[in-house]
Amino acid sequence: MMTLTLAWRNLWRNRRRTLITLIAMSFSLMLVQGFHNLSFGVYAQMIDNGVRAGSGHISIYRGDYAVSRDDRLTFVPADLPQKIAALPGVDGVVERLYLPALAQSSRESRGILLTGIDPTAEGLVNPLLRRLDLPALLPSADGRDALIGSRLLQELRLEIGQKFVVTAQGADGELASELLFVRGTVESGIRNIDRSLVMVGRQRAALLAGRPDAVHEIAIMLNRPDESGAVLQRVRALLPPGDLQAIPWDAAMPNLANAIKLDYASQKFIFLVIVAIVSIGVVNTLLMAVMERLPEFGLLLALGASPWRLRAMVLCEALLLGLIAMLLGSALGSLLTWYLTDVGIDLRRFLPESMEFGGVIFDPVLRATWDFEYMLRMAILMPLLAALAAFYPANRAARTAPAVAMRNS
């Protein structure tokens, strides 16, 4: 108890120095917590947008379709989507068929990706189609109505209501063509999508491919993405024997997953630099405090204190410093996160309205999401870091030669 009392009072001998160190530590913790939560929120939003427009939180493919995109790897889902939709934690299930094809208007032709969708189900989950009245634009799954990317519309020099022809290779290897009508446009903000997307009812696409009822992908959306591991197991249990595979979103969309990993790795490096600077500050503060008090350490040794007690005293000072920084920094980190969650950072003044990252559009108003586990981990790191930084100063105190220190008092 006396060690703790001594450590606490020693800490406040030089108030200004202690306060400056505390502020540096607390602000660092605030920045690390706040900006991690911002990244966490932005990544979560990007993943959500990405998976809803793309593979879903969980996807089912035949064979290695996720990697090879071999359009022969179709399958007939039968009642699998209904069974999956009934699983706990599942928000929505959509089936899609993808066909590389050629679109021709009376003036131009372009390579496209024809996507066959179930308009009603797709409209509920796909953020690209959220603003469109899908049942009105694509009233049936086998109709000739089509939605096309905004750039493609310009490049084919088409207008709403006009017709165009799509040609694709059928299951038998022969080319097949279908006449379609432009009913609406899709503007994702992603150049590749906007210049190659054509969406039609799934049955119309399947007829063109010569594979009635077939799909390439079942995309499953979840209520809570953090439950994807458990739901994935349940989905796998429903799959019939064969080469159907259920995979998580990061395996189905490696570009997005890798872009996020790379971005977060660079942030972690910055966090590491912040932590290193803080550690140097703590070492400096404690070392100055120890060097100033060498005669006093000599006195304590002369009175019979063991070197270990002196080590414990300096470590105790560091731990107290770390604990205060932990509480203060977490309070500031929570305030910053609250602000970033509620108000966010609006980039619209600096950047174009839609921004692409890893093939996904994200909101230019960046908003944080609470990651309590990470905040707690970083908070606990503060006293540990302070104790680690105190290691050298504590040893320096313990190695004091009492006679020399007393002579210099």
**What are the structure tokens assigned to 235, written together?**
């989905």
Distance between CA atoms of residues 28 and 294, nearest Å: 30
141 lies in the binding site for another protein (CB under 8 A): no
292 binds another protein (CB under 8 A): no
Which residues, including other chains, have CB under 8 Å from residue 370's CB and lie 6 or more apart? 37, 337, 341
Residue whose pair of structure tokens reads 């500050």 in the numeric block: 281
Residue 2 binds to another protein (criterion: CB under 8 A) = yes
> Which of residues 85 and 302 has its CB atom nearest to another protein in the complex?
302
Among 89, 309, 344, 381, binds another protein (CB under 8 A): 309
Give the interface size with another protein as a residue count (CB under 8 A). 23
Q: How many CA atoms lie within 13 A of 309 on its CB side?
A: 14
Determine if 291 is a binding residue for another protein (CB under 8 A): no
Q: By CB under 8 A, what part of segment 357-396 binds another protein?
A: none
CA-to-CA separations, 74 to 142, 171, 249, 265, in angstroms, rounded: 18, 10, 19, 37
- Residue 260 beta carbon to another protein: minimum distance, rounded to whole angstroms: 51
Strands 109-117 and 197-201: parallel
- End-to-end alpha carbon distance in the chain: 27
Q: Which of 4, 287, 305, 381: binder of another protein (CB under 8 A)?
A: 305
Q: Measured from the CB of residue 360, what is the shortest distance to another protein in angstroms?
A: 58
Q: Is 322 strand, coil or helix?
A: helix
- Give the other-Cβ count within 10 Å of 2's Cβ: 8
- Told to check if 303 binds another protein by CB under 8 A, we report yes
Nearer of residues 142 and 296 to another protein, judged by Cβ: 296
Q: Within positions 172 to 211, which residues make up the interface with another protein, using CB under 8 A?
A: none
Distant-in-sequence, close-in-space partners of 239: CB < 8 Å, separation ≥ 6: 60, 80, 245, 246
**And the tokens for 117?**
């969708």
Window 3-42: residues binding another protein (CB under 8 A): 5-6, 9-10, 13
Q: Min. distance of Cβ 299 from another protein in angstroms?
A: 5
Nearer to another protein, 32 or 300 (CB): 300
Sign of torsion over alpha carbons 396, 399, 400, 404: negative
Q: Are strands 58-62 and 217-222 parallel, antiparallel or unpaired?
A: antiparallel
Residue among 41, 125, 45, 106 nearest 371 (CA): 41
Per-residue string for binding with another protein, 248-287, x by CB under 8 A?
----------------------------------------
- Using CB under 8 A, which of the segments 25-33, 68-76, 108-116, 298-306 binds another protein? 298-306
User: How far apart are CB 317 and another protein at their closest, in Å?
Assistant: 11
By beta-carbon proximity to another protein, the closer residue of 351 and 404 is 404
Question: What is the smallest separation between the CB atom of 310 and another protein, expressed in angstroms?
Answer: 10
How many CB atoms sit inside 10 A of residue 111's CB? 11
Contact 205, 97 (CB under 8 A): yes
Closest CB to another protein among 65 and 297?
297
Q: C-beta of 308: minimal distance to another protein in Å? A: 9
Contact residues: another protein, CB under 8 A:
2, 5-6, 9-10, 13, 295-296, 299-307, 309, 402-403, 406-407, 409
